[in-house]
Amino acid sequence: MTDTLKVLIIEDDPDVRLGCEQALQLEGIATEAVDSAEAAKRRVGPDFRGIIVSDIRLPRMDGMTFLRQIMALDPELPVVLITGHGDISMAVQAMKDGAQDFIQKPFPPEYLVEVVRRALEKRQLILENRELRHRLEGREQIEARLIGDSGAMKRVRQLIAGLADSAADLLIQGETGTGKELVARCLHEASPRQTGNFVAINCGGLPETLFESEIFGHEAGAYTGASKRRIGKIEHANGGTLFLDEIESMPMPMQIKLLRVLQERSLERLGSNTTIPIDCRVIAATKEDLLALSEQGRFRSDLYYRLSVATLMLPSLRERREDIPLLFQHFLMQAAARHGRPVPPTDAARSNTLLGYHWPGNVRELRNVADRCVLGIEASAPPFGNDSDDKPRPLSETVEAFERALIADALKRHQGSLARSAEALGIPKTTLHDKIRKYGLSDTGTA
């Protein structure tokens, strides 16, 4: 316990200060010593990992004033005061003001160690409880935003909870519309960097001519039209999270420069020779297989390995169909509130259609369908704009629609290969061939 926390000693008498340090260090307790309250304040934050031992009589700011300021910053931070003979009344008042304990000079080293150990144990418990509350709050926020009871979504939420506290760079992979940016935001908001900026960049939405300036920033006069200094996106994310969406579309020259930033954790603005240190977590997202692209020479393999310290795979909506009713109801309620309309009822026919559809646009498409349902124009586009009707379909038809959608998706993903599609679906090739004929599908998964 004590090797993870430290004792900040504030004492202007160098002999007393050294004696306190030595007594604690001999017991394996980490210490840091300063000679003024002003110096101590610069080292203490709301979640300071340790306790404070301070003399009451100090130059400039005294121990009582320091105590009041620390209690305003963190009322649960243990402060032990060292008092002289004439300071007992002040020490009693300090206890009323929130001090943990006080020690009267002169004191034996063993007593100092005993008081400090009690204070460290209390601080450890406080910090552990705070961390637990933080994780529980973060988990509740994640579950409220990443909706779904399927095993796939439970695994995603578990991964986010496990990776949120890490500083490791991360790669999110998933189809368009699966919620990659939402996951990145959840990771940021559940992390220690939540008070920093979350800076999102769509690498496919920036012209190559502006990419370097947008990412790295520039100085005034760096190029024609650069009339004033601009802080780049990476620098703006300092202390927070940088989200690089569609990383696969980043121009190759920018990949090289980004790799250097990630390795050195520093950058130079365009037109500048000054190195700026960078402290941000990088989360990249892609809908492509970056490893395959790197093998084809279309993405730098060294950048891929640098970004994929940890990888989070997002399931498509087809892979978690059991979440569709819950998600759809959630989106209906959001759309009704946004458009000022009542929430429409979801009957069996609508549910069957939603479950049988193949959802190429994933969760984003489902949200759009919910909007159309609230606005009363659902028949104008899929899935209701296809072959749906107003009558509830029997279970056998619903199962067939579901099976047809799964087979069509497998054939599409495996470029019409019966062998690979059958292996992915876990059925013999002959069975797959019969089902393709039954549902009138081509070998590419289309009707």
pLDDT for 3 equals 45
In angstroms, the CA 113 to CA 79 distance is: 14
- Domains of the chain with bracketed CATH: 6-129 (3.40.50.2300), 146-313 (3.40.50.300), 317-438 (1.10.8.60)
Q: Tell how strand 79-83 and strand 50-55 pair up.
A: parallel
| Radius of gyration over every alpha carbon of the chain, rounded to an integer in angstroms | 30
Nearest alpha carbon to residue 100 among 128, 76, 84: 76
- pLDDT, one tens digit for every residue, the chain (447 residues): 344 799 999 999 999 999 999 999 999 999 999 999 999 998 998 889 999 999 988 888 988 899 999 999 999 999 999 887 666 777 778 788 888 888 888 889 999 999 999 999 999 888 887 776 666 565 567 888 898 888 889 999 999 988 998 889 999 999 999 999 999 999 999 898 999 999 999 998 888 778 888 999 999 988 888 889 999 999 999 999 999 999 999 989 899 999 999 999 999 999 999 999 999 999 999 999 999 999 999 999 999 999 999 999 999 998 888 888 889 988 999 999 999 999 888 777 788 788 888 899 999 999 999 999 999 887 767 888 764 444 555 667 667 767 777 787 678 777 788 888 888 888 999 999 888 888 877 665 544
DSSP, residue by residue, 298-318: SS-HHHHHHHTTEEEEPPPGG
The percent helix, strand, coil of the chain (3-state, each to 5) is 50, 15, 35
Cβ neighbours of 164 (radius 10 Å): 22
pLDDT for 1 equals 39
Phi-psi region of 337 (alpha: psi -120 to 50; beta: other; left: phi over 0): alpha
Nearest alpha carbon to residue 51 among 29, 84, 25, 69: 29
Report the length, in residues, of the chain. Answer: 447
Q: Tell how strand 230-231 and strand 217-218 pair up.
A: antiparallel
CA distances from 123 to 78, 126, 130, 136 (A): 7, 5, 11, 20
pLDDT for 85 equals 66
Nearest alpha carbon to residue 282 among 254, 261, 302: 261
In angstroms, the CA 269 to CA 275 distance is: 8
Q: Are 271 and 277 in contact (CB under 8 A)?
A: no
Instruction: Indicate the burial class of 349 (C-beta count within 10 angstroms; 0-12, 13-18, 19 or more).
Output: middle
